[in-house]
Structure 1
Amino acid sequence: MYQRILVAGAAALLSTQVHAQSSVTIYGVADVSIRYLTHADRATGRSKLSMENGAVSNSRWGFRGVEDLGNGLSALFNLEGGMNLDDGTQSTAGRIFNRQSFMGLSSRTAGTLTFGLQNNPLFDFMVGPYDPMTLGNYSQNSWMGTVFSVAGRRGKDNSIKYTNTFGDFRVAAFYGMGEQPDNHRKNEAWSGTVSYTKGPFSTGGGFVLTHDALGNKQTVYNLNVRYKLGPATLFLGHFNSKDHTGFVDAFLNGGATPSATAPRRDNAWFTGLTYDVMPSLKLTSAFYYDRSKNVRAVQGDAGEGTRYALVLLADYYLSRRTTLYATVDYNKVKDAARVDIPGGNSQTGVAIGLRHRF
């Protein structure tokens, strides 16, 4: 009898220990804003007042879990879906977990290997350490990071991703399967990044190569620097893109797919500053500049052009999880890049919003 009690007690203790080594977390962001935008309509050039998803972060919800398998090895998963808080719809119809949906294994020494729908490493650079706006949510303040880091899409279905840290270095490699029987390159994606962080200094570079359904490709290279100086953090980055797919034109101006002999080329720079005025107030400024060639509008070739954007953002933290913010952004286009903005050669947006993280 005494032995049975000991066995039952040991089993209960073991069960408690195993349970303590596993966890599932529900998390999310609820972010909504009121935004006024000039030249919002392509046909008339009129302004618009609207309720939008957040200025910086898109509303989302998700589950992440981890199980300790022992000896420094753990299993993990992440399911995340986007939503439109203003009307309650999914950000991508028919896909509950449209942002991320992956699982894998993680080792303290060998790194992390994951499988499923997940971000490419260059996108992680922009939403993580190197874009001062952490890749804003309005198209007017996120066009550069979005169009070049995602190269067709922020996440890729059927992808394999490996990450690891070696001292002050962090590496990431990514492959997205095209799953086409006639040509494996169709819809295929490759990406990789390397970063170095030492104290207040960080630098990182990477690339993303994608093929569309016809096998046409877009290649993007990126280099970034970040430096923290007291309450201020400075940012500088560069993108170089060569696009045969038409994605850049389609995203920016709805243009047609360029021919293989005249791919669109972009030479883009960005810089910015964040400043912690006080624990409850943070200011962000960002400047984005792009010089483009072989721009194609709906009507045909439009040649060369330039576009720049200036963004200012103030975050006031009501609590650790709830933030009140105000932002203003100004976009200016010239020559062929005029097709990027409907109804004029400049566009101004002003917004206030509320964000809650859970």
Structure 2
Amino acid sequence: MKKMTVGLAMAGLFAGHAYAQSSITLYGIIDEGITYTNNQAGHSTWQQTDGAINTSRWGLRGSEDLGDGLKAIFTLENGFNASNGTLRQGGREFGRQAFVGLGSSRYGTLTLGRQYDSVVDYLGPLALTGTQYGGTFFAHPFDNDNLDNDFRVNNSVKYQSPDFRGLHFGALYSFSNAAGDFANNRAYSFGASYAFSGLTFSAAYLQINQNLTSAVISNANGALNGDATFFADRQRTWGAGVKYSFGPFTTDFVFTQTLLDNAFGISAGESGVANGLALNGGSVRFNNYEVNGRYTLGSPWTVAAGYVHTDGSVDAAHPHWDQINIQTAYLLSVRTQVYVQAEYQHVAQDGLALGAIISGLPAASTTPNQVAVTLGLRHTF
């Protein structure tokens, strides 16, 4: 990280006034690799991929000390594809995060803008997809629980508590911004975690309300637009998990469930199908079970592995997915790592036209199986 600190104390410029010290931090990640996939749209392929672990981004964080433990804060974070230089998140300038708020060491943090929900905040760190030990390609099928933060929440007010002897909690509410249609494309979430003696327990809930009759968002000014994973009248995602760390080893178990009411489709980006995966307007359920572990083999080596089982109920069928994930990484420096990771996914289709699709790849397999192997370079600044 490169930190630029600007001293704004200008005594005498305005009589009787003083300006607090402010700081701005420039940060980012560039993650590029070469990926082999055994089947994408019926063909094996070699391709350059951006973000097998973390999609590339740069951002600015700022704070101003207001005194008595209170700070004004902001974050502006841009997402881009380093393979071709284009913007992600639907072409937004700061599509990953954009918020401003107040933070207090005693009372917590209140922020407003485009932000992560509580499922991402509290359950994401327990799944390998929410960490540097796997990331994008390790997400649960369709990233159905958003642990890989495929979407952010617009128009949101968010509170995060301070640390109460290992207890943290928070909540978010997103406005529909539609006059006379308060509940159309709104969202809310809440979560908590408690850590002691190497153990961390976490739980969170997210709900998104829409007013849909097809796979098209009817209120484009609301909580989600352009990066929604599902098109459904209502999405409810909840989960819980536990992390245990001892010495160089960490192991996690996390369970999540996503329920969709009046579901009309899954986005093209997550389904690996060019025009998205159409659903019949019924109810859909995904139950995700993940167990994983990571081990530091004496710096600079790390290794991580995980297994995910997802059982579903889709259009009256009951498919299920199994995915095995493995990663090993070597730190060339504190900010630069070379990594190799592999994923294997199998889907039991139960009569549905579902191909296996590893999250982050551009196209689904034409068979129930998909394998991907990536050699990558990840640099943070």
Confirm or deny a common fold (TM above 0.5).
Answer: yes
> Are the counterparts in 2 of residues 169 and 194 from structure 1 also a CA contact under 8 Å?
yes
Per-residue CA deviations over 1:4-60 (Å, capped at 9, x if unaligned) read xxxx99659x9xx956x310011100110100112211xxx1111111112211100
Q: Which residue of 2 aligns with 1:132?
A: 128
2:84 maps to which of 84, 87, 112: 87
Change (3 A) 1:9 1:256: closer
Task: Kindly indicate whether the alpha-carbon contact (under 8 Å) linking 1:209 and 1:220 is maintained by their aligned counterparts in 2.
Answer: yes
Q: State the AA in 2 paired with 1:306.
A: H
CA contact (8 A) 2:130 2:148 kept: no
Name the CA shift for 1:270/1:9 in 2 (closer, same or farther; >3 Å): closer
* Alignment check: 8 A CA contact 1:121 1:192 kept: yes
2:168 match: 170
- 1:348 is the counterpart of 2:371: yes
Query: Residue type matched to 1:274 in 2?
Result: R
Relative to 1, partners in 2 of residues 1:126 and 1:223: Cα closer, same or farther, differing over 3 Å? Answer: closer
Pick aligned residue for 1:148 from 124, 145, 148: 145
Given the superposition, is the C-alpha separation of residues 40 and 22 from structure 1 closer, same or farther in structure 2, using an over 3 Å criterion?
same
Q: Could you give the per-residue CA deviations for residues 213-259 of structure 1, whole angstroms, max 9, x where no partner exists? A: 53810111100100002111001000112112537744336322442
Q: What is the Cα deviation at residue 321 of structure 1?
A: 0.3
RMSD value over aligned CA atoms?
A: 2.5
* Residues 346-355 or 47-56, more deviating: 47-56
Q: CA deviation at 1:288?
A: 0.9
Q: How does 1:112-127 map to 2 (within 5 A)?
A: 112-127=109-124
Matched, 1:22 2:22: yes
Structure possessing the higher radius of gyration over alpha carbons: 1
Distance 2:346 2:67 in 1: 55
Letter matched to residue 177 of structure 2? E
Instruction: Give the TM-score normalised by structure 2.
Output: 0.82
> Aligned partner of 1:291: which letter?
D
After superposition, what is the alpha-carbon deviation per residue over 1:90-143, rounded to whole angstroms, capped at 9, x for unaligned? 11343110000000001111110000001111112344x3113426554x5213
Give the TM-score taking structure 1 as reference length: 0.87
The amino acid of 1:162's aligned partner reads Y
Q: Any residues of structure 2 matched to 1:236-251 within 5 Å, and which? A: 236-244=253-261, 246=263, 249-250=266-267, 251=270
Q: Counterpart in 1 of 2:5?
A: none
Q: Which residue of 1 aligns with 2:328?
A: 314
Aligned position for 1:3: none
1:155-209: per-residue Cα shift (whole Å, max 9, x none)? 1111010000322110010011111223211110011001101131101001100
- Once the two structures are TM-superposed, the CA of residue 335 in structure 1 deviates from its matched residue by 2.6
Check 1:356–1:57 CA distance in 2 against 1; reply closer, same or farther (3 A cut): same
Distance in 2, matches of 1:11 and 1:245, equals 64
Indicate how the Cα distance of structure 1 residues 183 and 340 shifts in structure 2: closer, same or farther if over 3 A, else same: farther
Contact 2:123/2:241 (8 A) holds in 1: no
- Aligned counterpart for 1:273 among listed residues 286, 293, 300: 293
Mapping for residues 126-275 of structure 1, pairs under 5 Å? 126-127=123-124, 129-134=125-130, 136-138=134-136, 140-144=137-141, 146-149=143-146, 154-165=151-162, 166-214=164-212, 216-244=233-261, 246=263, 249-250=266-267, 251-252=270-271, 254-259=276-281, 262-275=282-295
Cα distance in 1 between the residues matched to 2:331 and 2:145: 31
Q: Whole-Å Cα distance in 2 between the matches of residues 93 and 210 of structure 1? A: 20
Residue equivalent to 2:40:
40
SS of aligned partner of 1:125: helix
SS at match of 2:297: strand
CA contact (8 A) 1:180 1:186 kept: yes
Q: Which residue of 2 aligns with 1:5?
A: none
Query: Shift of residue 150 of structure 1?
Result: 6.3
Q: Which residue of 2 aligns with 1:289?
A: 309
Matches of 2:33 and 2:374, distance apart in 1 = 6
Distance 1:272 1:119, change over 3 A: same
> Aligned partners of 2:238 and 2:310: how far apart in 1?
14
Q: Which amino acid aligns with 2:43?
A: R
State the one-letter code of the partner of 2:251. L
The one-letter code matched in structure 2 to 1:255 is L
SS at match of 2:185: coil
- Number of residues paired by the alignment? 335
> Which residue number in structure 2 is paired with residue 339 of structure 1?
354
- Seen in structure 2, the aligned counterparts of structure 1 residues 10 and 208 have a Cα distance that, compared at 3 Å, is closer
- Give distance in 1, aligned partners of 2:264 and 2:370: 22
CA distance in 2, matches of 1:151, 1:357: 18
Query: Unaligned 5+ residue runs, structure 1?
Result: 1-7, 296-300
Alpha-carbon distance, 1:302 to partner: 6.1
Paired position in structure 2 for 1:327: 341
Once structures 1 and 2 are overlaid, which stretch shifts more, 346-355 or 153-162? 153-162
SS at match of 2:250: strand
User: How far apart, in 2, do the equivalents of 1:207 and 1:277 lie?
Assistant: 35
| In 2: Cα distance, 1:204 partner to 1:327 partner | 27
